[in-house]
Chains A and B, each alone.
Chain A
Amino acid sequence: MKVLVPVKRVVDYNVKIRVKADGSGVETANVKMSMNPFDEIAVEQAVRLKEAGAAEEVVAVSIGPQQAQETIRTALAMGADRGIHIKHDGEVEPLAVAKLLKAVVEKEGPELVLTGKQAIDDDCNQTGQMLAALLGWAQGTFASKLEIADGGAKVTREVDGGLETIQLKLPAIVSVDLRLNEPRYASLPNIMKAKKKPIDAHEPADFGVDPTPRLKTVKVSEPPPRQGGIKVESVDELVEKLKTEAKVI
């Protein structure tokens, strides 16, 4: 089985996000970037499948600027076998990514695509679902457990009410949640090995996809600063405030 893992280069989770002065977006110049944490979990899971003998090859794919190759290298250093880079500067929306991934899937023929459930930059949580729809494949989202057996995937999903377990036919898309595993660190010997692993470079046009955003960003602004808290004297006062001030009940 071949596993495809899309990985996105995003602003590092430790960075305090700043909105650009002109309100056109968030500041990314000279800001530390790294692999989307959910994608790390997806890579880890794919590598574990390979180590367990359930998968033969793990391919990491990234759509983004030249530096997205660094993100692919990280995936290779974690244990992915090779990379595919589709170079695109500027914003990409989930639909464009899903279309490009569909083209990659058709070329590569994986039986499983493991995605992060969302990227921490735009928090869209759409790409995996869109890809499943475009391909007409089964999907299991928010996976906190994954077992591959008998040509199918058993996925335990994190849902509002608790956990739901579903059985998917392969090929399938599985989007992973935080509790699925703890990603390994890229070890020094594996960083050296990753250097020798191939990365194929492409442009969106190679796949006949136009990634121009279909949505227009009107304005990006900081959320209002948090107000200091207060201590309430009684439960009644709390309920009263939740009703009249917070207007949440």
Chain B
Amino acid sequence: MSADAILSERDIAFVLHELLDAEGLTRYARFAEHGRETFDGALATAQRIATEQFAPHNRKADLNEPRLVDGRVEIIPEVKPALESFAEAGFFAAHADFERGGMQLPWTVAQACYAWFQAANIGTFAYGFLTVAASNLLNAFATETQKARYMQPMLEGRFFGTMALSEPQAGSSLGDIRTVAEPDGEGGYRLKGGKMWISGGDHPLSENIVHLMLARLRDAPPGVKGLSLFIVPKYRLDAAGGPGPENGVALAGLNHKMGYRGTTNTVLDIGGDGPCHGELLGEPGQGLAYMFHMMNEARTIVGMSSAMLAYAGYRHALGYARERRQGRPVGAKDPAAPPARLIEHADVRRMLLMQKAIAEGGLALSLYAARLVDVKDADPDAEARREAHLVLEILTPIVKAYLSDRALEANDAAIQCLGGYGYTRDFPVEQYWRDNRLNPIHEGTNGIQAIDLAGRKVAMEEGGALHALAARIDATARAASAWESLAPWGRALGDALARLEGTAARLVEIGRGEGAPVQLANANAFMEMAGHLTLAWMHLKAALVAADALKVGAEGAEADFYRGKLHACRYVFTVDLPKTERLAALCESADRTALDMAEDWF
């Protein structure tokens, strides 16, 4: 399969190098060994493994979801070798330390590598993503012994990881978790309870599965403060660190999902079948805090996955619209003339342009967030680290929720571009939509993200996070004013920014006056508004680069590439950004429409 069918190598290079100066990260001691050459090498390997080993079984894995046979999970045979290639190439440890066998790649570049796998086959990649996320968490909080026993095999791709938080009665509200842990008298803990929705919770793909599990110590206070995090392997480790006997994590069932069907999703019975031993990670009562430490990374990856599914759908729809002939151009008189290609119809171009704006803007925004992670972790200057951390804090819910909502819109348009064919399983776009439908739900629903943004993030550090973001957006608006062609967009961005800041202040006021329920009843509108602004900002940043490249004489296909960037920017400023006016008015009116709807009136 041609890589261009799912993603654009040119666009990844544009975002990394022209927009985000990824090479600038090599100034940091941690990345000093790197350069364009190593970044390109890693990306080339990612692209190849993704297109040669992941993409080919994307549909097969969708049509043949994992099955329970005699209590064991059966998965199509293509998944294991694909993940073995992923492991052998070192992608489980892409950003890990050299001493641990990693490549010490900036998070930004690691994410750009992962983009290929997400676009190629999100269901198989999920095992990789979950393991990387779990090993990051161990890296931050585990003891050296725990790292050697659990994290090192994960970096090598021998053990896979999970995030075992949710329970049937505790999804959005993790404070209601009931799984309990008691000292087992051997220095560890014995766990008992049940987990729901655990992705990758069981499978035959790795030697062992390491669950990072939230549970409550017997005497812990109720609510989130009583939660601790435990390392719970599927098989207890033997003396040599290899998988030993079963550890009482029983597979109670598989969930049957609409998408992401290549990834097992499990109901787990903890300690019902036999004793289940766990090791405490860090301090008791800190479980959720530790999880939140990883949340920014995990949630921005969800935004990235969404954007990559949008990208794959866009590329497919684009290829299709260039070939399929149907209808005549408006005003064509001769019914015997050959039909036009779909792409010649303005309405199809509208849908393609919308997808392009979301997919390319989404890629840029997700990698922008990833770069903040690198700055926050590796910059020697404390103030730079603090600033990056603040911007990341406020961008994270936007990247997660806004992109996952918009990416679904993009996949919807991809289906529409193909007409009836898009509705069949003979074409990949319907699967992209179904796979993508998870993204607004997991890692905190988009409803929860909106509450996080409007209720917490805009007010955090006395508005410090919002100010930090605003300063960055303002700098782009100002830069645009130097260009005659871009100045109107610069002004529009500046106006929208002022509007957002005004609305944010008003929401805080509403929270104090009308009360938090009214404030949060407007959270979704505020999220949408912040999202449109952020997307427009990314596109204007790209337009500045494009205008510059055209000015210095880009030609041919390169010139077309940059003109495409300018036009995607125009789309967002024409169609999306103006929506912020209506949304601001709605929020500022302290809208109560939903609140005032009494339950009995339904």
Interface residues of A (CB under 8 A from B): 14, 29-30, 32, 34, 70, 73-74, 77, 184-189, 191-192, 194-195
Contact = CB atoms under 8 A, between A and B. Distances in A.
Contact of A188 (B9, B37, B45, B556): B45
Contacts of A30: 556-558
B2 A14 contact: yes
Interface in B3-57: 3-4, 9, 33, 35, 37-38, 40-42, 44-45, 48-49
A185 B93 CA distance: 16
B94 interface: yes
Contact of B33 (A14, A74, A192): A192
B103 A32 contact: no
A135 B406 CA distance: 64
A186 B41 CA distance: 8
8 contacts: A30-B556, A30-B558, A74-B41, A188-B102, A191-B38, A191-B103, A195-B33, A195-B38
Interface string B85-97: 1001111011000
B101 interface: yes
A189 B102 CA distance: 7
Given A70-B40, A73-B37, A188-B42, A32 B557 contact: no
B500 interface: no
Contacts of A184: 88
A70 B103 contact: no
Interface string B258-277: 00000000000000000000
A155 B192 CA distance: 63
A29 B9 CA distance: 15
B105 interface: yes
Which of A29, A73, A186, A192: most chain B CB closer than 10 A? A192
A192 B38 contact: yes
Interface residues of B, number: 31
Interface in B50-96: 85, 88-91, 93-94
B3 A194 contact: no
A191 B552 CA distance: 34
A191 B557 contact: no
Given A74-B44, A184-B88, A188-B42, 17 more contacts: A30-B557, A34-B44, A70-B37, A70-B40, A185-B45, A185-B49, A185-B88, A187-B45, A187-B88, A187-B90, A188-B45, A188-B89, A188-B90, A191-B42, A192-B103, A195-B33, A195-B35
A73 B35 CA distance: 13
A73 B45 contact: no
Nearest to B33: A192
A145 B9 CA distance: 35
B41 A77 contact: yes
A14 B44 CA distance: 13
